[in-house]
Amino acid sequence: MSKLRLKISMSLDGFVAGPNQSVENPLGIGGMRIHEWAFALEAWRAQHGLEGGEVNESAQVMKESVENLGATIMGRNMFGGHPGPWDPNKPWNGWWGEDPPYHHPVFVLTHHPRETLVLQGGNSFTFVTDGIESALEQARAAAGGRNVTIGGGASTIQQYLRAGLVDEMQLHVPAVLLGSGERVFDNLDGATRRFTCTELVASPTVAHYTYVRR
């Protein structure tokens, strides 16, 4: 059975993005620091078409997290661009250029309908306007038995957690103190109570916590 897996990089003080997110600064001020641990890894670099990189305790975790993955769900803010209806004259096609790093179907939660966007490398972006259950159903169908992941952001993650739809969570917690920004572990109404940690490993810069729902 295809599982819904959550992957979150979070600063040690609990933020998944810095303050003042914008088109120029999609992760907010300092938010990129939350993800720096990954950029040095061979596994991350290979996924983004780059050679070389480090192999350490994080490498195996990263490898497993992208294995058997068939589709991604994300919120409109993570896909980015602008708020409100899509502008046909200035189409926003995501942050990632012509060949995004997903290489499978992506489902974007939005209030505004739009035709599916097909880019290079097996990337497609389908815009879902009828809610998180529908997005999950479409993602599962597209994943063909493989797992589905939630890319973010915080609000999308919280919605799926509150609805009890998440099967596994992987939390990457680098030794970063961001000070302020957007929290993911807020307003969850006890939705995390049913999760049990199955693995905790750390490299010198980041700890990786894996949880499954009981």
Binding site for a copy of itself (CB under 8 A): 12-14, 171, 173, 175, 177, 179-180, 183, 185, 188, 190-193, 195, 197, 199-207, 209, 211
**Which residues fall within 8 angstroms of residue 145, CB to CB, at 6 or more apart?**
2, 70
Residue 35 and residue 107: Cα distance in Å, rounded?
A: 22
- Any idea what the Cα angle at residue 84 is, between residues 149 and 188, rounded to 5°? 45
Q: Based on CB atoms, which residue is closest to a copy of itself, 13 or 87?
A: 13
Q: Which is nearer to a copy of itself, 127 or 195 (CB)?
A: 195
- Distances in Å between the Cα of 155 and the Cα atoms of 3, 59, 121, 131, 183 are 20, 28, 28, 13, 9
Please name the amino acid found at residue 44.
W
For the bound state, the minimum distance from the C-beta of residue 22 to a copy of itself, rounded and expressed in Å, comes to 20
Tokens representing residue 179 in the block: 């000070």
C-beta neighbour count of 153 within 10 angstroms: 22
Nearer to a copy of itself, 84 or 190 (CB): 190
Output 103 or 162, the one with its CB closest to a copy of itself.
Answer: 162
- Going by C-alpha positions, the residue among 37, 11, 22 that lies closest to residue 180 is 11
Which residue number, 118 or 188, has a Cβ lying nearer to a copy of itself?
Answer: 188
Least distance CB 56 / a copy of itself (angstroms): 12
CB nearer to a copy of itself: pick between 50 and 200 = 200
Q: From the CB of 206, what's the least distance to a copy of itself, in Å? A: 7
- Give the other-Cβ count within 10 Å of 126's Cβ: 19
In angstroms, give the least distance from the CB of 2 to a copy of itself.
Answer: 24
**Tokens, residue 186:** 């807020």
**CB of residue 150 to a copy of itself, shortest distance in Å:** 17
Least gap, CB of 53 to a copy of itself (angstroms): 20
**ω before 153 within 30° of 0 (cis)?**
yes
